[in-house]
Structure 1
Amino acid sequence: MPKVGMEPIRKSQIINSTLECICMVGIEKMSLDMVAKEANCSKGVISYYFKSKDTLILEAFRAFLSYYNTKINSEVREDMKPFEILQIVQKNALPEYYNIDKEAEPKINVSEIRGVEAMNIPPAKKAKLFVSFFSRAMLDTNLQAVLQEVYKGDYKGILSIISYGNEIGIFKETDASKSAYAVMALYIGISMLRVVGFKPEEVNDDVDVFWSVVNSMFGK
């Protein structure tokens, strides 16, 4: 049995190592033996915390998605205006473009144990995880359920920002629900395009595209 107080640390090490292994070989080829080696622990320790490989994949996916919300929430302050909050959402929600020839990137850390500032998913690894998890989610109903749960929370968060803008008179949205869905669809769509590295030559900056659409919606 693990030492008292070690459970959160060990579980975070296993989750981070799982994400690293998925980046290296993909979900299908990732094994508990590989994760154990990466996490510098025994396969038995992994089995103690996670019942199976499928359970581990599910929890790793949940941690990967939670990473974004944790980063966003850590930067939002009560005195911020709606557009300032949306800027934080945009900055953290849109994955960076990555260079496939880039030198070796640092290790993944999706745990808050060492503080939010220490949490990090390098751009190339973020793209690999995005593709790996979302492609599997097309066939895995358990991953779909996690994704729907997270997206439901994202939708409510954006809806609350728009509703707040309406309350203080910055926005004049007659259908806040539709607008929240549109903003959410916009950043998810741009995320997909960024992950596959697609951007038309005519588009110099897709962040400008994001804000031109958002500003036209809210009349700024």
Structure 2
Amino acid sequence: MPKLGMEEIRKDQVIKATERCIVEKGYSNMSVKDISAMAKVSTGIIYHYFKNKEDLLLQVLKESFRKSHEQVMETVEPLRTFDEKLMKHIENINRVPVDNPDFYAVMLNFLGQTINNPEINGIIAKFFGNLRSYISQYIQDGIEVGRLQPEKAKHLSALTVALGMGIGMQWIVDPESFDIVDIEESYKEMIESYILLKE
């Protein structure tokens, strides 16, 4: 693994501190001063590495999505069959709120900005697009080997993401409303029932 230079270390330090500020204070309530205090660096260092506060916030969003994507690639990609990949992907999506609650805190903070900020909208749209596209790759495998009916494949990637993230957002907002671990089986059953897996 290549050794990180000081620039990358500093940038990562600032990005992590910004994420922490978003989680603790919220997107609209934090300042560059708050970030510099959290990162234990001067505001000058922040402006040296990032054009402005918005540039920094966009980097936080990109980094959050990058980590989520890496987790999926590490656990889903090595599997061989369509069924295994789909079920493992569902497990991954369902466990994000527990394993990485900051992801949802960041996501919820940024979602409110998508209407008025085309750049944030573009990053989030790309994230959802990448998720759907990745699922679509192994959906195609399922069709080719005869495990999935083509008419059920059309919206499967969007439905898988929507159901998983909807569960996650509900649980982050109200964790007492249901057991996030327990609901995973129901999530899988709903998708399996929808696609009518061929034996």
Q: Comparing 179-188 with 12-21, which one deviates more in the overlay?
A: 179-188
Which residue in the other structure is 1:190 paired with?
167
Contact kept, 8 Å, 1:95 with 1:127, in 2: the verdict is no
Mark the runs of 5 or more structure 2 residues left unpaired by the alignment.
none
Which residue in the other structure is 1:108 paired with?
none
Contact kept, 8 Å, 1:130 with 1:195, in 2: the verdict is no
Taking structure 1 as reference, are residues 208 and 78 closer, same or farther at Cα in structure 2, changes over 3 Å only?
A: closer
Q: Comparing 31-40 with 131-140, which one deviates more in the overlay?
A: 131-140
Tell me the amino acid that sits aligned with residue 180 of structure 1: S
- The alpha-carbon deviation at position 79 of structure 1 amounts to 4.4
| Count of residue pairs the alignment pairs up | 194
After superposition, residues 85-96 of structure 1 pair within 5 angstroms as 85-94=85-94
1:176 aligns with 2:149: no
1:69 aligns with 2:69: yes
1:36 aligns with 2:36: yes
1:144 aligns with 2:121: yes
Which residue in the other structure is 1:50 paired with?
50
Which residue in the other structure is 1:211 paired with?
188
Contact kept, 8 Å, 2:104 with 2:169, in 1: the verdict is no
Mark the runs of 5 or more structure 1 residues left unpaired by the alignment.
99-119
Contact kept, 8 Å, 1:183 with 1:214, in 2: the verdict is yes
Tell me the amino acid that sits aligned with residue 169 of structure 1: G
TM-score normalised by length of structure 1: 0.77
Taking structure 1 as reference, are residues 136 and 219 closer, same or farther at Cα in structure 2, changes over 3 Å only?
A: same
Q: 2 CA distance for matches of 1:67 and 1:171? A: 30
Tell me the amino acid that sits aligned with residue 134 of structure 1: L
TM-score normalised by length of structure 2: 0.84
**Structure whose residues are more often helix by fraction:** 2
RMSD across aligned C-alpha pairs, in angstroms?
A: 2.6
Which residue in the other structure is 2:15 paired with?
15
- The alpha-carbon deviation at position 161 of structure 1 amounts to 1.5
CA deviation map 1:44-70 (0-9, x unaligned):
111111111111111111111222111
Which residue in the other structure is 1:105 paired with?
none
Taking structure 1 as reference, are residues 92 and 214 closer, same or farther at Cα in structure 2, changes over 3 Å only?
A: same
